Chains A and B, each alone.
Chain A
């Protein structure tokens, strides 16, 4: 059980570092969505189902959609 949690945390931190490094903004936003999704799984493993549902529906779906709409109206690449 602890090994599964450790694996998920390592994946979450790797996705956060990828969000910092990528130059294509759409890839960075998708990495941020992966961070939110794994955070929702961690909330469920901490016995908080209300917060897991809120994070999965708001953090992983609506925040990503709002970011992609904003990127579409501005520029796609970082420089």
Chain B
């Protein structure tokens, strides 16, 4: 009885999705909003990467909401796992010497690569979220390879809060300077295609990159406690 209902539901969903998908053309150009953003990115924001200009410039408030959701998730993971009683410790096999040495060697290089990604977010593909994820995977490498090394929790909280405050502070500063609205682009646009261009976009991405890196590392640290 149950499998019959499941097959029926899947068949109805299949039919519904199919009858919509045949009418959507594939490979036609961007929509009107997309064309407008592509045509005006260079003059409005001065960024080379149109996706970065949309995420931080035109739709900056949505990015603030996303950063808030990540913060709530990190808080939720910490709250759910804080009241878990720890079982007796299992004996963990230590990693071999080659693995430990290689992880310790690769860790600063991975952090450097992640910082490069979020610093050049307005020029090349990349940005705050990708750079933060690479930084978190650098920390994950040390957690898995070197036995018993953990991050210090107060330092992680300081970095996370500093990144978030940078984002909101730059946004609020736009209320008083320049054209007076939240997240207005008041820093000079600079020369196109150089590192110090595009107004507040690199500053915001630095804040987002540090915040996302600290948050994802905190999630992995809470979940890996005592295992």
Q: A57-B130, A62-B216, A65-B140 are in contact. Are A50 and B223 (CB under 8 A)?
A: no
- Interface set, chain A 57-79, CB cutoff 8 A to B: 57-58, 61-62, 65-66, 69-70, 72-73
Question: Would you call B227 and A54 a contact (CB within 8 A)?
Answer: no
Question: Would you call B136 and A62 a contact (CB within 8 A)?
Answer: yes
For B134, the chain A residues whose CB sits under 8 A away are 57
Question: Would you call B223 and A69 a contact (CB within 8 A)?
Answer: yes
Q: A50-B49, A57-B133, A72-B227 are in contact. Are A65 and B125 (CB under 8 A)?
A: no
| Cβ distance A6 to chain B, nearest Cβ, rounded Å | 15
Assembly CA distance A57 to B118 (angstroms)? 13
Report B46-70 CB contacts with A as 1/0, cut-off 8 Å.
0001011000000000000000000
Question: Would you call A61 and B137 a contact (CB within 8 A)?
Answer: yes
Residue B224 at the A interface, CB < 8 A? yes
Question: Would you call B136 and A69 a contact (CB within 8 A)?
Answer: no
Question: Would you call A66 and B219 a contact (CB within 8 A)?
Answer: yes
Q: A61-B137, A65-B140 are in contact. Are A54 and B220 (CB under 8 A)?
A: no
Residue A14 at the B interface, CB < 8 A? no
Assembly CA distance A33 to B127 (angstroms)? 23
Say what secondary structure dominates the interface of chain A: helix
Q: Can you name the residue of chain B whose Cβ is closest to the Cβ of A49?
A: B125
Report B103-139 CB contacts with A as 1/0, cut-off 8 Å.
0000000000000010000000111011001101100
Say what secondary structure dominates the interface of chain B: helix
Assembly CA distance A67 to B51 (angstroms)? 30
Question: Would you call A62 and B137 a contact (CB within 8 A)?
Answer: yes
For A53, the chain B residues whose CB sits under 8 A away are 117, 125-126, 130
Partner of B133, one of A52, A54, A70: A54
Partner of B126, one of A50, A58, A65, A69: A50
Question: Would you call A62 and B140 a contact (CB within 8 A)?
Answer: yes
- Interface set, chain A 39-59, CB cutoff 8 A to B: 49-50, 52-54, 57-58
For A70, the chain B residues whose CB sits under 8 A away are 223
* B-to-A contact residues, CB < 8 Å: 49, 51-52, 117, 125-127, 129-130, 133-134, 136-137, 140, 216, 219-220, 223-224, 227
A-B contact pairs, 12 of them (CB 8 A): A50-B49, A50-B51, A50-B125, A50-B126, A50-B127, A53-B117, A54-B129, A57-B134, A65-B220, A66-B219, A66-B220, A69-B224
* A-to-B contact residues, CB < 8 Å: 49-50, 52-54, 57-58, 61-62, 65-66, 69-70, 72-73
